Amino acid sequence: MVLQPNPSPMMSHNTPSLPPSVFILPQTAQLEALYTIIRDKNTSRGDFLFYSDRIIRLLVEEGLNHLPVVPRTVETPTGALYEGVGFEGKICGVSILRAGEAMEAGLREVCRSVRIGKILIQRDEETAQPKLFYSKLPQDISQRYVLLLDPMLATGGSAMKAVEVIMEQGVPEDRIIFINLISSPEGLKTFSTRFPSLRVITGWIDQGLNEKAYIIPGLGDFGERRYCL
């Protein structure tokens, strides 16, 4: 299944044409209802966890659809042979701390015993640029397909820095898939221009960024709503 951008009333009418490397979940009424719940400032933490996890699961499942497969033949319990497919290579997840950790459970639910690395990137107060503070990645990451996990894509600075860190370990650009819940048009354009061969799976594209570079309408600070009581 190939997903194509499909505008919704909640998406900006000024959203530009998206690059071919960007894929959006089908903008169904169910999906919009889930996003309405997690956007509501009055939603309880328990409901925020439950409904954001539902969206994350959908995103991870779609991310797996973009992994290459090879022919595989198996024998069924009836003794018949079935000509199917299997994944071409191993995968791993890499979460951008701390909000990206919220997406790890969704990946583990569909990929048994998957390896997961972590990257911590924060803004350098002197240069105002994203700076790497910590990374722990699988030793054989260069031999794997990487699902990069971060719920929000605003300016794209942290995500681009994370991709640089991963590629420095020998992972080709086209073997990385970036998965996020909400993107800004500005962030998508910047990110996809920088890494045109890297696929992006997003659940929703919002109107844009405000003067503080917050996604509007957004849902606030995902990490704070996820981890703080």
pLDDT of residue 18: 81
Tell whether 54 is covered by a domain.
yes
Q: How many domains does the chain have?
A: 1
- Digit-by-digit pLDDT tens for the chain (229 residues) are 444 444 444 444 344 578 899 999 999 999 999 999 999 999 999 999 999 999 999 999 999 999 999 999 999 999 999 999 998 889 999 999 989 999 999 999 988 889 999 999 987 666 667 889 999 999 999 999 999 999 999 999 999 999 999 999 999 999 999 999 999 999 999 999 999 999 999 999 999 999 988 999 999 999 888 887 5
pLDDT of residue 125: 63
Tell whether 19 is covered by a domain.
no
Tell whether 38 is covered by a domain.
yes
Tell whether 163 is covered by a domain.
yes
> For residue 223, which of 114, 120, 69, 110 has the smallest C-alpha distance?
120
> For residue 33, which of 225, 209, 203 has the smallest C-alpha distance?
203
pLDDT of residue 55: 97
Residue-number span of the structural domain to which 162 is assigned: 26-227
Q: Evaluate whether 8 touches 32 at the Cβ level (below 8 Å).
A: yes
Task: List the CATH number of the domain containing 73.
Answer: 3.40.50.2020
Amino acid at 155: T
Tell whether 2 is covered by a domain.
no
pTM score of the predicted model? 0.88
**Helix (H) or strand (E) run with residue 163 in it:** helix 157-167
Tell whether 43 is covered by a domain.
yes
Locate the DSSP E strands across the chain.
22-24, 69-75, 81-87, 91-97, 115-123, 130-136, 145-149, 152-153, 176-183, 199-205, 208-209, 215-216
| Integer Cα distance of 188 and 5 in angstroms | 13
Tell whether 120 is covered by a domain.
yes
pLDDT of residue 132: 92
| Integer Cα distance of 123 and 158 in angstroms | 8
Backbone dihedral angles phi then psi of residue 11, each to the nearest 5 degrees: -90, 150
pLDDT of residue 113: 85
Tell whether 217 is covered by a domain.
yes
pLDDT of residue 28: 95
